[in-house]
Structure 1
Amino acid sequence: MGLFRSPTRFPEKYRWYLGIWYKKFPSKAVWVANRDHPLSSPTGILNISNSNVDLLDGNVVLWRKNLINRDSSVVAELLDNGNFVVKDPTGVLWQSFDSPTDTLLPGMILNANLISWASSEDPSSGAYTYEIIGQQGFIHDAHQVPMTRIFPNKILPSTTKKTFSTMLRIDEYGVLQLLVWRDKWHIDWISHVDECDEYYTCGLNMFCDMNLSPICNCIKGFEPSDKPYRGCERKKTQVSCVEKEFWRMTNMKLPNFGQQIDTKMGVEDCKERCLKDCNCLAFANMDSQNGGSGCMVWLHELHDIRSYKTKGFDFYIKLPVAADLGLLFLPLFLLQITL
């Protein structure tokens, strides 16, 4: 932990920041205190009192964190996991893990958004944000428009002193990366690989598959809408309460706006739950023991779905009875009218 500098547009002047970085990766800070209020020189003062943690540039407070006012002594400590904590004999008063910048470290709970750097050399707040909402994560641009939806949200594997260092970082281009240290930093996962990773690449009730041409196609039971912006819709009939069949799609990224029903419900019970609900369009059963959410159902139109080669979940689409049987009975119906 210490001060580092970042060049501005003017080479003769530098901006200074209070940050934390890995010894193995000193060129990039994983946490920055005063990212939007830089020091003008490397002579800043970090003042810790019973009421505040202040970073001062001369007499000007550039960064402040308020503490609960206590009469007991206050100490500050940088822990081995990268967490800068301020505490008294009763416990932690403030910690840097509660105020992440662009990086999630092992042991950190993401209760605030990750915000990218403005550039690779400028730690000030950039254009991209990673936000977790329920079981999924969203990467937004500067206008808060979703760029990528990550489902389920990406979490860091647990680490100990005997395992590798890891971190989850959103870069200056809005790409989320899981980095693992194995003699050097390796990218183990990345949020954006192809066009199907972009949010809402295809329309409603469609799925994206990079191995098909076109890559966007209607889900079984749906047909292209007369209004192209609508994607696909059911032409023959809507689902009701008499369906018995589902179409299984494997290795899928599940749609947005699913409702969690039961974290421990198995696939057959989840299926029965969807069958009994006249408004249920689809369901999925996720492994709750490995970070999933058990039984989920979808009651509205489906969007932001994609297929993967080897990962993803089984996704079950309810098939309307009339859509399968209507063509069989239609000729008989017409014959009766003729007679």
Structure 2
Amino acid sequence: MLSPGQSIRDGDTTLASSGQIFELGFFSPGNSKNRYLGIWYKSIPSTVAWVANRDDPLAGLNGTLTFTGKGNLVLLNQSNSAIWSSNLSRTVRNPILQLLDSGNLVLRDSSSGDPNDGYLWQSFDYPSDTLLPSMKLGWNLLTGFEKHLTSWKSSSDPSRGDYVYRINIEGLPQVELVSTGSTPAVKYRTGPFNGVQFSGASLTPSFVSRPIMVYNETEVYFWYDSLKAEYITRVTVDNSGMVQLFVAKSRSTTWDLMYSLPSDPCDNYGKCGPNGICMISEAPICQCLKGFEPRSTEKWQVLNWLDGCKRKVQMNCSAREEEGFLRVDRVKLPDLLEFFLDENMSLEDCRVECLKNCSCTAYANSKITGGGSGCIMWFGDLVDIREFQDGKYKQDIFVRLPVSELDSMHNASKKMRRMLTIGGVSLAILVLIMATPITCYLNQKRRTKSQGSRSGNGDIDLPLFDLAKISHATDNFSQTNLIGQGGFGPVYMGKFADGQEIAVKRLLSTSGQGVEEFMTE
């Protein structure tokens, strides 16, 4: 605890929290010779959680932290000039500076008898690159005050770097990782908050922490609390543009990385371009939304998806009865670039209003609680959509398409179901036909072997693969994968998910070859 008349001098004293978890003092990061006032973990001094003078370094071992006569906290250089201050707007008679075990450096008035007076100033209101448990990331909607993380420039320079991790409150709140360099751009976003979670990021608790989102008329903020007293956690945005959650045992000297954002290629903003959808379980991962096609087929074929997709059939706004909507399930909603939001409108009213506006390209519920409520409408291209297989993502979107396209999809779906039914029956018959001679052959072979004779080919152990795996490897026995033809049947080239290349010979029902030839193959 620091009181009036006391000070912290570089190379002389530090201030530790009561539980000896955090420490405040002067340090030099990496190979820098500059000095900074900061807070670090006492057991891991190299891990700095907060920096006061990140943009105004001290040139030598001459910094002093002290109080002014009006109770303001100031950092002085060798000429006694203030290079950083708590910047209080009123005079405090008995200021007290305390470093809490949470890592929060707080300034309060010891003469106040009201414990609810709160803090006059706290470091949690001015984060650096690190979010600690109970620290808020977001906005006070009454004052317009924002709290966000900003990366260091480098491991040796804590001044403000090129990446900001913040909550965007335009429309519905969503957390964004933004590059602020020469060409500012969003690198990652969670998708809008839908009343339960972000449409593209879960708020499910982990083993050590629980994320929490607060969204009301006065505040919008994200924070997390720690679930295990024996662990310490921190979230950082580093100078390469990665958001990372680290965990360590209390008093440990090393950190373990629990997750990073972006976590996979589909997390990268706009990976599949306008009107594209990213599906991490597919290959390739980028597809056009149904009813759309690549703007450049040539670029799409070489996995350059930035140009995105365009409509196969242009909309005819003069005939609304010729337009409808296709529901796309479990998605991260598109970015709110050109949009309309009404949190009191029903989904059906949202659909009707979207049809009335020729520029409306899609709509969705703004909240998924209570069966869904509210309305978001998008105008223009749909950017940064991804699909989720996980059932905990329940956000749907309705994309506007001509009825002709919807009918075509419906007919194709019916045809596919019919083909699957016929194909299933045919496959069952083929398996039965093949199984009968093979069973006879194996029985004969066992009888022959029991009589002391051996097959000319010996006993062969054959690996077994299910049909679905073979079909996926050969792109469903695509003609483009056909590499040969024999009496037994056609031969296809394929590749398993692990990269292993294979050749698959498929039995023709008209093949005249028998079991011995099959076993030889």
- Answer yes or no: same fold by TM over 0.5: yes
Quote the residue 2:55 is aligned against. 36
Larger displacement relative to structure 2 (217-226 or 199-208): 217-226
Cα distance change on mapping 1:77 and 1:160 into 2, 3 Å: farther
1:255 aligns with 2:322: no
Q: Determine whether 1:133 maps to 2:168.
A: yes
TM-superposed deviation, 1:60: 3.1
Partner of 1:297: 377
Determine the structure 2 residue equivalent to 1:122: 157
In structure 2, what is the equivalent of residue 165 of structure 1? 232
- CA distance in 1 between partners of 2:54 and 2:31 (Å): 13
Cα drift, residue 220 of structure 1: 1.0
Quick check: 1:19–1:30 contact (8 Å CA) kept in 2? yes
Report the residue type matching 1:324 in the other structure. L
Give per-residue Cα distances to partners, 1:288-307, cap 9 Å, x unaligned: 67xx9965432332011223
How far 1:19 moved relative to its partner? 1.1
The alpha-carbon deviation at position 318 of structure 1 amounts to: 3.4
Q: CA RMSD in A?
A: 3.5
Change (3 A) 1:200 1:17: same
**CA shift digits 1:252-282 (9 cap, x unpaired):** 22210175746687xxx42552344224433
Question: 1:16-56: CA deviations, max 9, x gaps?
Answer: 22111234543211111111222234442112232632111
Structure (1 or 2) with the greater helix fraction: 2
Give the drift of 1:76.
1.5
Deviation at 1:185, TM superposition (A): 3.6
Whether 1:273 and 2:350 are equivalent positions in the alignment is: yes
Match of 1:150 in 2: 189
Judged with a 3 Å threshold, the aligned counterparts in structure 2 of structure 1 residues 285 and 158 are, in CA distance, closer, same or farther, namely: farther
Counterpart in 1 of 2:94?
Answer: 73
**How far, CA to CA, are the matches of 1:15 and 1:195 in structure 2?**
38
Structure possessing the higher radius of gyration over alpha carbons: 2
The answer to whether the 8 Å contact 2:135/2:224 transfers is no
8 Å CA contact retained: 1:254, 1:315: yes
Specify the SS of the correspondent of 2:405: helix
Normalization by structure 1: what TM-score? 0.79
Aligned to 1:53: 73
User: Shift of the alpha carbon at 1:244?
Assistant: 8.2
Give the match's secondary structure for 1:247: strand
Provide Cα deviations, 1:171-223, integer angstroms capped at 9, x if missing partner: 12110112344566443332123333222222211112344344332101222
Say which SS state the counterpart of residue 323 (structure 1) adopts: helix
Counterpart AA for 1:87: R
What residue is the counterpart of 2:28 in the other structure? Answer: 5
What is the distance in 2 between the residues matched to 1:182 and 1:285?
42
Partners of 1:186 and 1:315 in 2: CA distance: 37
Question: Separation in 2 of the partners of 1:30 and 1:284?
Answer: 40
Q: Is the 8 A contact 1:106 1:157 kept in 2?
A: yes
Q: In structure 1, how many angstroms separate the alpha carbons of the residues matched to 2:354 and 2:63?
A: 63
Quick one: distance in 1 between partners of 2:225 and 2:77?
38
Q: TM-score w.r.t. structure 2 length?
A: 0.54
The answer (yes or no) to whether the contact 2:38–2:50 under 8 Å persists in 1 is yes
In structure 2, relative to structure 1, the CA distance for the partners of 1:239 and 1:300 (3 Å cut) is farther
Aligned length: 320
* Distance change >3 Å, CA 239–CA 167, structure 1 → 2: farther
Question: What displacement does 1:327 show?
Answer: 10
Match of 1:256, as an amino acid? D
Stretches of structure 2 lacking an aligned partner (at least 5 in a row): 1-23, 138-145, 192-197, 202-221, 300-305, 411-521
How much has 1:61 moved relative to structure 2?
A: 2.3
Q: Give, in whole Å, the separation in 1 of the partners of 2:374 and 2:259.
A: 24
Work out whether residues 278 and 285 of structure 2, in 8 Å CA contact, stay in contact via their aligned partners in 1: yes
Per-residue CA shift, 1:140-187, capped at 9, x if unaligned?
142252251221477443336747433221012110112344566443
Change (3 A) 1:224 1:284: same
Secondary structure in 1 matching 2:90: coil
Counterpart pick for 1:178 among 210, 228, 245: 245
Q: Equivalent residue of 1:66, what SS?
A: coil
SS at match of 1:281: strand
Q: Which has the higher contact order (CA 8 A, sep 6+)?
A: 1
Query: Is the 8 Å Cα contact of residues 151 and 254 (structure 1) preserved in structure 2?
Result: no
**Residue 21 of structure 1, aligned match among 40, 43, 62:** 40
Higher strand share goes to which structure?
1
Report the counterpart of residue 501 of structure 2 in structure 1.
none
Contact 1:83/1:96 (<8 A) preserved:
yes
Distance in 1 of aligned mates of 2:288 and 2:389: 19
- Provide the rounded CA distance (Å) in 2 between the counterparts of 1:140 and 1:216: 23
* Matching residue of 1:337: none
Distance 1:249 1:167, change over 3 A: farther
Q: Percent identity?
A: 37
Matched, 1:323 2:405: yes
CA distance in 2: counterparts of 1:151 and 1:56, whole angstroms: 41
Letter in 2 for 1:322: S
Q: Distance in 1 between matches of 2:409 and 2:51?
A: 65
